[in-house]
Structure 1
Amino acid sequence: MIPSVETMIEQYVDTWNASSLEAYKAGFAACWAPEATYTDPGHALIQGVDGIADLALHSWNQLPGRKFNILKRPVFHHNSGKYYWTVALPEGPRQGLDYFEFNDQFQITRLVSFF
């Protein structure tokens, strides 16, 4: 079980740095609620652990070696929050912001990514 919001977000971001579908599924299963949803500028709705794992693998296949890091620690209240991240890409770093909602077990239930 994840003990805190900070650990939940660390698990989520670290999982994006894996490189296999099995690693994505295992990592996201720890911090992602079964019914969780994800949206970003390029995807209207991704749902569940399998959906986010498939998206991460697709991202890895398009940009092998990319590396995500937390840029600013999460701030949160009442089961919602935000944090800033960066990703190292061949053309240079890129920054983004994720808004998230979570349950009492510190699992993400909704994440909206801006980049």
Structure 2
Amino acid sequence: MNNIVDAYLATWNCTDPEARRDLLTRHWSPQATYTDPMADVAGAEAIGAVVAGVQEQFPGFEFSLVGEPDAHHRQVRFRWGLGASGAEPLVIGFDVVTVDADGRIATVAGFLDRVPA
């Protein structure tokens, strides 16, 4: 499941819209859903728009893995950080990702643990 976490973070870190669309096509189910305290969307176009919005809000920041993923069956939970490369993350969150029968991201339930004021 580490490859799913890698693909997930790569999607969030991809600033090129065409390359991000390719990541969404290759690693996410066409019916994928993404839900966190600030968004509740479905499908590649909507998920891509959420990613672009976060990148616009935090220009130059990167998502990184915080700790080790914990996986069983078709789900994985992990913590991530968002901040300048090599610096302490400004935002820290916790996501649970499930995959479909083809091993693509099907659902994401996201939680925000630390958010700047």
Give the TM-score normalised by the residue count of structure 1. 0.85
Deviation readout 1:33-91 (Å, 9 max, x if unpaired): 01110001111x21111111111111112221110011123211121220111110599
Take 1:84 and 1:91, find their aligned partners in 2: how far apart are those partners? 14
Q: CA 1:91/1:11 → structure 2, altered by over 3 Å: closer, same or farther?
A: closer
Unaligned runs of 5+ residues in structure 2 are: 113-117
Aligned-residue CA RMSD in angstroms?
Answer: 1.9
Equivalent runs, 1:14-93 vs 2, <5 Å: 14-43=10-39, 45-88=40-83, 93=90
Supply the AA of the counterpart residue of 1:53: G
Deviation readout 1:9-43 (Å, 9 max, x if unpaired): 10110121111321221112221101110001111
Take 2:9 and 2:36, find their aligned partners in 1: how far apart are those partners? 15
Supply the AA of the counterpart residue of 1:113: G
1:109 corresponds in structure 2 to: 106
Take 1:106 and 1:6, find their aligned partners in 2: how far apart are those partners? 12
Give the TM-score normalised by the residue count of structure 2. 0.84
Of the two structures, which has the highest relative contact order with CA contacts closer than 8 Å and spacing of 6 or more? Answer: 1
Q: CA deviation at 1:95?
A: 1.1
**Of the candidates 89, 97, 106, which is equivalent to residue 100 of structure 1?**
97
State the percentage of identical aligned residues. 26
Supply the AA of the counterpart residue of 1:88: G
3-state SS of 1:16 partner: helix
Q: Check the 8 A contact 1:21/1:54 in 2, yes or no.
A: no
Supply the AA of the counterpart residue of 2:98: E
Q: CA deviation at 1:94?
A: 1.8
Take 1:96 and 1:102, find their aligned partners in 2: how far apart are those partners? 19
1:8 corresponds in structure 2 to: 4
Take 2:69 and 2:26, find their aligned partners in 1: how far apart are those partners? 18
TM superposition outliers: structure 1 runs of 4+ over 6 Å: none
